[in-house]
Amino acid sequence: MTFQNRALGVLAAFDRAVDGSAFDAEDESLLTGFAASAAMAVATAQTMAEARLRDSIEIAERERARWRA
């Protein structure tokens, strides 16, 4: 899965086990759309986690500065 040219993970899909038929063009289109949505969700979650970490570090730095004063 990629988002904005950034690799975020791998999505594996296997042909149907029940009747053994291979994926058709519609299946591949649905899986491609799902992978794009999943990549966007992963990228959003990573961005939010990075923002929370930056905020946490900034708060800790301000607290340290306050204690030094």
Phi–psi pair at 31, nearest 5 degrees: -65, -35
Question: What are the structure tokens assigned to 4, written together?
Answer: 């904005």
Tens-digit pLDDT profile for residues 7-62: 888 988 887 777 778 888 999 999 999 999 999 999 999 999 999 999 999 999 99
The pLDDT score that the predictor gives to residue 60 is 97
The pLDDT score that the predictor gives to residue 20 is 75
Give the separation between CA 21 and CA 37, rounded to whole angstroms: 25
Is residue 42 within 8 Å of residue 9, measured between CB atoms? yes
The pLDDT score that the predictor gives to residue 18 is 76
The pLDDT score that the predictor gives to residue 51 is 97
Question: What are the structure tokens assigned to 59, written together?
Answer: 């708060």
The pLDDT score that the predictor gives to residue 22 is 84
Q: Quote the pTM value.
A: 0.71
Give the separation between CA 39 and CA 14, rounded to whole angstroms: 19
Beta carbons within 8 Å of 56's beta carbon, 6+ residues apart: none
